[in-house]
């Protein structure tokens, strides 16, 4: 067995050994009086608890779930402009949308295709990039450095800013003439990279992804830092003693244990990517063009600029379904594990 | 002050995987002012039973009666019981005074002054009067425990319920609190039900002890009866430290034959095993004595390990000529030729010594090999268990 | 690992080298992270000609410095700032309050089905706002004609209420985590002490939830202040909140980047201030639920 295998083995035994301990004492507590059935059944407890959660629940039911349902209903109508024609109810809006998507992607082609494609690209690239950068930051911070709090505060700072604000800053940075990015690239001699970041269609999306990663990697860092700190330090030490190189240690031993953190962070990031609107709207307005148009912007444009409410609602529903596809499995897993 | 009756109580938990019977048809009568200890290994259901009395768990079937009132469905808020939790469950944001007043404020109509008076009184009883204005986080473990007790006392309830209250204290403090609790309970004269997994606590503190295993009541009785007349093998093995030596034996003619030794039967023992082929042979460590020559009930043994405790020596023995067939024994597993004996601290033996150990037939316990039920317990005739004149 | 004296000396000198590398990386990241803010900040203090001719990273010097952009930007933005405050403060407070109540009713009390209801609450955290925009506009004009009832200020009320509803899920989740972390036997002790469900909230759960209130208030303030989409859709014309105002700035202030940068900072100032003062709570909110 190589050193790495020995380490991984030890980690596995440590982890399962530890959880055995926990489960015995937990089992003792659970069978010696845990609320396995949720304690007291429906009855006075339920009634007494109602005034606490029901008002909030009603607000959520109405504004969140009711609204989603209503939105779906609207998407089935033909409502656009001033005429609120509710009949016939059909999936015309959806077939129209997917029809256009399937028509495919020449630059002059249907915007639906580009919107959909860009959304998926943003979703994946942004999430992966943010996770990686976040992990790197977390690993750096975890090295018992001085001024740890200061560094963490700085890396998380972008999360406290509105996307409107960051859009203003990044737009300035990306400015082809005065912006820092192109100035710096030219100074270093990398003129080739000094493109029109937010003007040229092929670079817009990348520019957006970079900016959004900048804004969100602090979140990734926070999540991974918590995950790293949850791993007992003995494992790091054991790996060191067994002679593992740093990178290998991280890849084979530490990163696999960050699966739960990665999963929850990925879900949040993907959902964010789906609803990212503010940033793009400030830089591109409601018409980013095929280079950067995404479903959330398209939805706004369709419903509020051109008043095609039904079509806009359909796009919104599609966004919602995409989000559901991301969070549904995740929430289900959490519920099953009892982690809720 | 009232007596508590637990009548054929059963508790079934429903899990995703099925049902768990936590308490199986348990009946106990607790007399007024009695100190009853519920004892048993982890998972035996003792805490569950306590919580059912408190109303924190529902009763699946059976009744729990306090005085003359059935309290199965009475919610904890309305029960006149006070409970001391293992974690003390103090309110961290309130002072000690606040913690102790809370119960009286919420469940009585007493005026603030009256409450204050009672709190001060109880605090003095628990010797924490000078801590009244501190917060729980500022107190030591022992002090917190007293506050938890004080909080229960000040309510002057019909029943005290205690869920392993001493478990988080260090050994010395635990021993000290054991005595204090007993004194306290006697002074206050409140019916008390005390849960512990520590059989020493059970033996020393209870007026009576109720031993549970796996949700089933094994025996209820005063400590000495449970000790000397255990109802089954579980009780015999659970009560007493170091625990009783057990050996599986077959009945052959007039002797019991085990894997490594034989034990001739006396008349009394023969009568007991009548009709059976196999029994479990039990002898308590303190009943094994050293000295003399080998004989019917005396065996040559080699001393394996000696644990000197000062007041007594715990001696681990193996029958002589142990051919190591069973290997060196490791703690839990006792091989069929290993004995544990307790002798006076003044007698000295050394590891490796050969001695003769006598197992007197009057001290032998016999249990049914299949059910574990006690067939024959030691006789107390020749032993002086009478009150001191 | 050898234990000779040589390697000890070796280790003594290689270790700092690794640490230098580490700190270098960290500082490089700091530069990257603060760059957008830094260039924005310097630009905000430059005169028009200055920012057109100097490198953005460099601070303004001499006659390039001017605080004028700030005054102008503030002049244009201060009503919007006021409107933001007006709707953000109640939304923040109430979403936190509702969250704590709901979490209590779904966590500390014990009844069947509460986990399912909790799940429904939590799912609300992840809803893309686009999925409800159209119905929301219809709701606040046709069903509850907020502007008819309250006049144009009604927009802000509608925005506030909407944010409360959308803030409840995350606040509930945060409080739930907090409540579950408390010693549960304490609540049982309270029941045995005779307290009702309501009293237990008032005298035990609520006081002990104060640290989490700090977290949720900070977190919600930041999120609600920073939102643009709901504001765009629900607020009509006159009562533009600060994010909307800044956004229209970008359209109307073409070329006047120094004004724009100053405006961005003014908009961000409250959340930056809150973040600098209460960074720990904000981080807790971020990790406790997610953006």
Contact B106 C195 (CB under 8 A): yes
Q: Burial, A259: exposed, middle or buried (Cβ in 10 Å; 0-12, 13-18, 19+)?
A: exposed
8 Å CB contact of A36 and B15: yes
pLDDT at C207 over 90: yes
Rg (CA), chain C: 25
Q: How confident is the model at residue C195, as a pLDDT? A: 92
Cross-chain Cβ contact C30/A151 below 8 Å: yes
- State percent of chain A over pLDDT 90: 36
pLDDT at res. B383: 61
Q: Which among C184, B223, C256 is positioned nearest to A168, based on CA atoms?
A: C256
B107 touches chain C (CB under 8 A): yes
CB contact under 8 A, A39 and B43: no
Please give the residue of chain B at the shortest CA–CA distance from C197.
Answer: B77
Whether A212 is covered by a domain: the verdict is yes
Minimal Cβ distance to B43: which of A31, A41, A44: A31
Fold held by B4-236? Rossmann fold (3.40.50)
Residue-wise pLDDT tens digits, A17-27: 333 333 333 33
Mean pLDDT across A144-164: 90
Contact by Cβ (8 Å): B378, B228: yes
Q: Find the CATH number of the domain harbouring A176.
A: 1.10.3720.10
Give the least confident one: A90-99, A326-335, C44-53, C155-164.
C44-53
| Residue A41 scores a pLDDT above 60 | no
Residues of chain C neighbouring B102 (CB-CB closer than 8 A): 190, 193, 195, 203
- What CA–CA distance (Å, rounded) separates A238 from A226? 20
CA triple B379-B381-B384, angle to 5 deg: 115
> Is A169's CB within 8 Å of C23's CB?
no
Which residues of chain A neighbour B44 with C-beta distances below 8 Å?
32
Q: Does A258 touch chain C (CB under 8 A)?
A: no
Say if CB A251 and CB A31 are below 8 A apart.
Answer: no
Task: Residue A184: list chain C partners with CB under 8 A.
Answer: 57
Average pLDDT value over all residues in chain A: 81
For B242-323+333-376, the fitting CATH number among 2.40.50.140, 1.10.287.110, 1.10.760.10, 2.130.10.10 is: 2.40.50.140
Peptide bond just before A88 cis, omega within 30 deg: yes
* Of residues C1, C106, C165, nearest to A64 (C-beta): C165
pLDDT band at C143 (very low <50, low <70, confident <90, very high): confident
**Cβ within 8 Å of C, B 150-169:** 151, 155
SS3 for A252?
A: helix
Of A162, A178, A323, the CB nearest to C126: A323
For residue C2, how many other CB atoms are within 10 A of its CB?
8
Tell me, what's the pLDDT at A194? 74
Q: Which residue of A has its CA nearest to B46?
A: A32
Contacts of A12 by beta carbon, 8 Å cutoff, 6+ apart: none
Determine the Cα–Cα distance for residues B373 and B366; give it in Å rounded to an integer: 9
Confidence grade of residue A232 (pLDDT, cut at 50, 70, 90): confident
CA distance A12 to chain C (A): 24
- Best mutation target, A169, A227, A258, A298, to test chain C (most C CBs within 10 A): A169
Confidence check: pLDDT of C5 > 60: no
* Contact: C126, A267; criterion CB under 8 Å: yes
Q: Beta B289-290 vs B298-308: how paired, if at all?
A: unpaired
Q: How far is C193 from chain B (nearest CA, A)?
A: 4
pLDDT of A155 over the 70 cut: yes
A338 to chain B, any CB pair closer than 8 A? The answer is: no
Note whether B311 and B304 are within 8 A (CB).
no
CB–CB contacts below 8 A, A to B: 40
Mutation for B interface: C194, C199, C201, C213, most B CBs within 10 A: C194
**Which residues in chain C have Cβ-Cβ distances shorter than 8 Å to A183?**
55-57
CB contact, 8 Å: C194 with chain B?
yes
Is residue A171 less than 8 Å (CB to CB) from chain C? yes
Of B159, B154, B162, B3, nearest in space to B80 by CA = B159
| Structural domain spans, chain B | 4-236, 242-323+333-376
A33 CB near a chain B CB, below 8 Å?
yes
Neighbours of C246 (CB within 10 A): 28
- Alpha-carbon radius of gyration of chain A: 25
Give the per-residue pLDDT at A339: 66
**Beta carbons of B48 and A31 less than 8 Å apart:** yes
Burial class (CB in 10 A: 0-12, 13-18, 19+), B388: exposed
Q: Is B162 helix (H, G, I), strand (E, B) or coil?
A: strand
Query: How many cross-chain Cβ pairs, B to C, lie less than 8 Å apart?
Result: 63
Structural domain count of chain A: 1
3-state secondary structure of B379: coil
Per-residue pLDDT of chain B in tens (389 residues, 90 and over written 9)? 578 999 999 999 987 778 899 999 999 999 999 999 999 999 899 999 999 999 999 999 999 999 889 999 898 989 999 999 999 999 999 999 999 999 999 988 889 999 999 999 999 989 999 999 999 999 999 999 999 999 999 999 999 999 999 998 999 999 999 999 999 999 999 999 999 999 889 999 989 999 999 999 999 999 999 999 999 999 999 999 899 999 998 988 888 888 888 888 888 888 888 888 889 999 999 999 888 888 888 888 889 899 999 899 999 988 886 555 554 544 445 677 788 999 988 888 888 888 999 999 899 999 998 888 998 888 877 665 666 66
pLDDT at A28 over 60: no
Contact at CB, A28 and B43, closer than 8 angstroms = yes
Does residue A71 belong to any structural domain of this protein?
no
How many CB atoms sit inside 10 A of residue B253's CB?
8
Give C177-193 pLDDT, tens digit per residue.
Answer: 999 999 999 999 999 99
pTM: 0.86
Residue A108 has a pLDDT of 65
A210 within domain boundaries: yes
What is the residue whose two structure tokens read 């109540």? C101
Do the domain assignments include residue A330? Answer: yes
Statement: residue A307 has pLDDT above 70: yes
Distance CA B281, CA B266 (A): 14
Mean pLDDT of C147-167: 90
Angle A127-A132-A135 from CA coordinates, rounded to 5° = 120
User: Which residues from chain B sit within 8 angstroms of residue A41, using beta carbons?
Assistant: 58
Cα–Cα dist B242/B142, whole Å: 28
In the predicted structure, residue C97 carries a pLDDT above the cut 90:
yes
Of A24, A32, A36, Cβ closest to residue B45: A32
Q: Which helix (H) or strand (E) segment is B358 a member of? A: strand B354-358
DSSP for B183-243 reads HHHHHHT-EEEEEES-HHHHHHH-SEEEEEETTEEEEEE-HHHHHHS-SBHHHHHHSSSSP
Q: Is A11 part of any domain? A: no
pLDDT of A96 over the 50 cut: yes
Q: Is the CB of B80 inside 8 Å of chain C's CB atoms?
A: no
Pick among B17, B41, B51 to test the A interface (most A CBs inside 10 A): B51
Q: Are strands B19-30 and B338-344 parallel, antiparallel or unpaired?
A: unpaired
> B368: how many CB neighbours lie within 10 A of its CB?
16
CB contacts, 8 Å: B86 with chain C? 185
Among chain C residues, the shortest Cα distance to B91 is held by C186
pLDDT tens digit sequence for A189-224: 777 777 778 888 888 899 999 999 999 999 999 999
- A8 has pLDDT over 60: no
**C185 shares contact with chain B (CB less than 8 Å):** yes
User: Considering chain A, what percentage of its residues have pLDDT values greater than 70?
Assistant: 84
Domain encompassing residue A169:
113-337
The answer to whether C133 contacts A316, with C-beta atoms less than 8 Å apart, is yes
Q: Which residues of A touch C43 (CB under 8 A)?
A: 172
Q: Rounded distance, CA A12 to CA A2, Å?
A: 15
* A51 touches B: beta carbon within 8 Å: no
Q: Strand order of the sheet with strand B208-213?
A: B81-84, B159-163, B191-196, B35-39, B208-213, B216-221
d(CA A208, CA A198): 8
**CA C171 – CA C164 distance, rounded (Å):** 10
Are the Cβ atoms of A40 and B58 closer than 8 angstroms? Answer: yes
């Amino acid at each position: 067995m190589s050193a790495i295998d020995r380490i991984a083995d030890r980690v596995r035994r440590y982890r399962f050994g530890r959880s055995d301990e926990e489960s015995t004492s937990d089992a003792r507590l659970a069978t010696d009086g845990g609320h396995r059935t949720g304690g007291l059944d429906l009855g006075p407890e339920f009634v007494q608890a109602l005034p606490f959660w029901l008002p909030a629940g009603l607000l959520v039911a109405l504004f969140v779930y009711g609204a989603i349902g209503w939105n779906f209903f609207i998407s089935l109508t033909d409502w656009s402009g001033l005429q609120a024609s509710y009949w016939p109810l059909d999936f015309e809006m959806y077939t129209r949308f997917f029809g256009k998507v399937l028509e495919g992607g020449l630059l002059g082609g249907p915007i639906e295709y580009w919107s959909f494609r860009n959304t998926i690209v943003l979703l994946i690239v942004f999430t992966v990039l943010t996770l990686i950068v976040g992990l790197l930051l977390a690993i750096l911070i975890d090295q018992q450095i001085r001024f740890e709090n200061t560094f963490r505060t700085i890396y998380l700072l972008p999360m406290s800013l509105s996307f409107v604000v960051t859009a203003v800053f990044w737009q300035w940075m990306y400015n082809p003439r005065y912006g820092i990015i192109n100035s710096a690239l030219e100074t270093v001699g990398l003129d080739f990279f000094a493109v029109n970041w937010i003007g040229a269609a092929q670079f817009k999306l990348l520019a957006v992804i970079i900016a959004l990663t900048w804004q969100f990697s602090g979140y990734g860092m926070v999540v991974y830092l918590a995950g790293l700190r949850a791993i007992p330090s003995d494992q790091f030490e054991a790996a060191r003693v067994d002679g593992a190189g740093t990178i290998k240690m991280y890849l084979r031993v530490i990163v696999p244990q960050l699966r739960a953190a990665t999963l929850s962070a990925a879900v949040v990031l993907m959902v964010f990517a789906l609803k990212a609107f503010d940033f793009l709207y400030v830089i591109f307005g409601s018409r980013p063009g095929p280079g950067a148009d995404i479903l959330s912007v398209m939805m706004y444009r369709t419903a509020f600029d051109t008043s095609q409410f039904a079509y806009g609602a359909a796009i919104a529903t599609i966004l919602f379904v995409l989000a559901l596809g991301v969070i549904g499995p995740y929430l289900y897993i959490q519920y099953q594990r009892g982690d809720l | 002050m009232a007596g508590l009756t637990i009548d054929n109580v059963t508790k079934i938990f429903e899990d995703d995987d099925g049902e768990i019977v936590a308490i199986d048809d348990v009946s106990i009568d607790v007399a007024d002012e009695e100190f009853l200890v519920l004892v048993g290994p982890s998972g035996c259901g003792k805490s569950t039973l306590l919580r059912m009395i408190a109303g924190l768990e529902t009763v699946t079937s059976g009744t729990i009666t306090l005085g003359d009132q059935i309290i199965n469905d009475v919610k904890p808020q309305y029960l006149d019981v006070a409970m001391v939790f293992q974690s003390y469950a103090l309110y961290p944001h309130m002072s000690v005074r606040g913690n102790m007043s809370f119960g009286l404020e919420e469940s009585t109509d007493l005026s603030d002054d009256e409450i204050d008076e009672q709190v001060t009184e109880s605090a003095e009883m628990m010797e924490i009067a000078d801590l009244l204005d501190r917060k729980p986080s500022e107190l030591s473990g022992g002090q917190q425990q007293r506050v938890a007790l004080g909080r229960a006392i000040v309510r002057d309830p019909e029943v005290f319920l205690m869920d392993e209250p001493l478990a988080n204290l260090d050994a010395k403090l635990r021993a000290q609190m054991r005595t204090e609790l007993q004194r306290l309970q006697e002074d206050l004269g409140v019916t008390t039900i005390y849960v512990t997994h520590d059989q020493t606590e059970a033996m020393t503190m209870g007026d009576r002890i109720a031993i549970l295993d796996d949700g089933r009541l094994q025996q209820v009785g005063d400590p000495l009866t449970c000790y000397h007349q255990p109802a089954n093998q579980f009780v015999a093995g659970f009560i007493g430290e170091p625990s009783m030596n057990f050996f599986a034996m077959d009945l052959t003619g007039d002797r019991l034959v085990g894997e490594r030794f034989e034990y001739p039967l006396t008349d009394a023992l023969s009568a007991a095993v009548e009709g059976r082929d196999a029994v479990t042979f039990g002898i308590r460590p303190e009943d094994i004595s050293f000295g003399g020559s080998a004989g019917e009930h005396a065996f040559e043994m080699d001393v394996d390990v000696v644990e000197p405790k000062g007041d007594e020596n715990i001696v681990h023995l193996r029958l002589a000529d142990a051919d190591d067939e069973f290997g060196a024994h490791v703690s839990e597993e006792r091989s069929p030729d290993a004995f544990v004996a307790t002798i006076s601290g003044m007698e000295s033996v050394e590891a490796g010594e050969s001695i003769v150990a006598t197992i007197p037939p009057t001290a032998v316990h016999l249990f049914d090999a299949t059910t574990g039920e006690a067939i024959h317990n030691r006789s107390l005739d020749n032993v002086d268990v009478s009150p001191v004149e | 690992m050898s234990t000779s004296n040589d390697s000890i000396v070796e280790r003594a000198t290689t270790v700092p080298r690794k640490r230098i590398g580490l700190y270098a990386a960290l500082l490089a990241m700091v530069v990257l992270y603060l760059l957008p803010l830094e260039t924005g900040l310097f630009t905000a203090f430059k005169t028009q000609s200055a920012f057109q001719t100097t490198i953005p990273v460099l601070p303004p010097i001499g006659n390039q410095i001017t605080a004028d952009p700030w005054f102008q930007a503030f002049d244009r933005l201060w009503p919007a700032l006021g409107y933001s405050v007006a709707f953000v403060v109640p939304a923040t407070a109430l979403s936190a309050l509702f969250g704590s109540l709901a979490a209590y009713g779904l966590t500390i009390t014990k009844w069947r089905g509460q986990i399912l209801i909790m799940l429904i609450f939590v799912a609300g955290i992840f809803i893309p706002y686009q999925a409800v925009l159209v119905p929301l506009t219809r709701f606040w004009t046709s069903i509850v004609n907020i502007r008819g009832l309250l006049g144009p200020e009604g927009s802000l009320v509608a925005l506030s209420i909407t944010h409360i509803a959308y803030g409840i899920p995350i606040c509930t989740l945060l409080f739930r985590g907090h409540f579950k972390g408390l010693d549960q036997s304490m609540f049982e002790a309270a029941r045995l002490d005779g307290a009702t469900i309501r009293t237990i909230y008032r005298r035990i759960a609520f006081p002990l939830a104060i640290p989490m209130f700090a977290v949720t208030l900070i977190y919600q303030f930041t999120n609600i202040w920073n939102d643009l989409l709901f504001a765009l859709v629900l607020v009509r014309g006159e009562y533009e909140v600060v994010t909307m105002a800044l956004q229209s700035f970008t359209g109307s202030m073409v070329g006047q980047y120094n004004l724009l940068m100053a405006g961005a900072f003014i908009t961000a100032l409250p959340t930056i201030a809150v973040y600098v003062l209460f960074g720990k709570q904000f981080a807790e909110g971020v990790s406790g639920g997610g953006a």
